[in-house]
Structure 1
Amino acid sequence: MASEPTSTSGERTLQLLVRQIRFEGKGINSYELVDPQGDELPVFTAGAHIDIHIGDGMVRQYSISNSPAERKRYVIAVLRDESGRGGSKTLHERVRVQDIVRVSRPRNNFHLVDDAKKVVLIAGGIGVTPLKSMAHRLEDAGIDYEMHYCAKDAGCTAFSAELEPMRANGRVHFHFDGGDPKAGLDLRRLLSEPSQGQHVYYCGPGGFMSACAEATAHWPAGTVHLEHFKAPERIVSESAANEPVDTFSVKIASTGQMIEVAKDQSIAEALDNAGVTIETSCHAGLCGTCKVRYLSGEVEHNDCILDDGEKAEYLTACVSRARGKVLVLDL
Structure 2
Amino acid sequence: MSTTPESAPIELLVRQIRAEAAGINAYELVEPDGRPLPPFTAGAHIDVHVAPGLVRQYSLCNDPAERHRYVIAVLRDEGGRGGSRAVHERLRVRDRVAVSAPRNHFALAGGARKVVLLAGGIGVTPLKAMAHRLQADGADFELHYCAKAPDCAAFCEELSELGGHVHYHFDGGNPANGLDIAGMLAQPAAGTHLYYCGPGGFMKACGDASAHWPAGTVHCEHFKAPTVPARAAVATGGYIAQIAGTGQEIMVGAGQNLAEALQSAGIALETSCQSGLCGTCKVRYVSGEVDHQDYILDEAQRQSFLTPCVSRACGGRLVLDL
Whether these two folds match at TM > 0.5 is yes
Quick one: which of 58, 70, 86 aligns to 1:90? 86
**Residue 235 of structure 1, CA deviation:** 3.2
Give the equivalent residue in structure 2 for 1:313: 304
The runs of at least 4 aligned residues of structure 1 exceeding 6 Å deviation read none
Matched position secondary structure for 1:170: helix
Contact 2:236 2:255 in 1 (8 A): no
Give the equivalent residue in structure 1 for 2:192: 198
Quick one: which amino acid aligns to residue 48 of structure 1? Answer: A
Quick one: which of 2, 5, 22 aligns to 1:7? 2
Contact 2:115 2:193 in 1 (8 A): yes
Give the equivalent residue in structure 1 for 2:253: 262
Matched position secondary structure for 2:183: helix
Further displaced range: 226-235 or 90-99: 226-235
Give the equivalent residue in structure 2 for 1:222: 216
The root-mean-square deviation of aligned C-alpha atoms, in Å, is 1.7
Q: Residues 101-148 of structure 1, C-alpha deviation per residue, up to 9 Å, x if partnerless? A: 111111111000121111100000000000000000000011110000
How far apart, in 2, do the equivalents of 1:260 and 1:145 lie? 50
How far apart, in 1, do the equivalents of 2:2 and 2:273 lie? 22
Give the equivalent residue in structure 1 for 2:101: 105
> Aligned runs of 1:172-183 on 2, under 5 Å?
172-183=166-177
Residue 286 and residue 175 in structure 1: after superposition, are their counterparts in 2 closer, same or farther (change >3 A)?
same
Gaps of 5+ in 1: 1-5
TM-score normalised by the chain length of structure 2: 0.95
Matched position secondary structure for 2:151: helix
How far apart, in 2, do the equivalents of 1:255 and 1:22 lie? 49
**Residue 305 of structure 1, CA deviation:** 0.5
Give the equivalent residue in structure 2 for 1:207: 201
Give the equivalent residue in structure 1 for 2:234: 243
Matched position secondary structure for 2:300: helix
Contact 1:245 1:322 in 2 (8 A): no
Gaps of 5+ in 2: none
Q: Residues 19-59 of structure 1, C-alpha deviation per residue, up to 9 Å, x if partnerless? A: 11011111110000011111111101000001110113100
How many residue pairs align between the two structures? Answer: 321
Indicate whether 1:301 and 2:292 are aligned: yes
Of all paired residues, the percent bearing the same amino acid is 61
How far apart, in 1, do the equivalents of 2:103 and 2:52 lie? 23
Quick one: which amino acid aligns to residue 20 of structure 1? Answer: Q
**Residue 237 of structure 1, CA deviation:** 5.5
Residue 7 and residue 263 in structure 1: after superposition, are their counterparts in 2 closer, same or farther (change >3 A)?
farther
Matched position secondary structure for 1:232: coil
Further displaced range: 132-141 or 245-254: 245-254
**Residue 260 of structure 1, CA deviation:** 1.4
Quick one: which amino acid aligns to residue 3 of structure 2? Answer: T
Contact 2:2 2:37 in 1 (8 A): no
Quick one: which of 17, 20, 25 aligns to 2:13? 17
Quick one: which amino acid aligns to residue 313 of structure 1? Answer: S
Quick one: which amino acid aligns to residue 319 of structure 2? Answer: V
Indicate whether 1:76 and 2:67 are aligned: no
Further displaced range: 280-289 or 135-144: 280-289
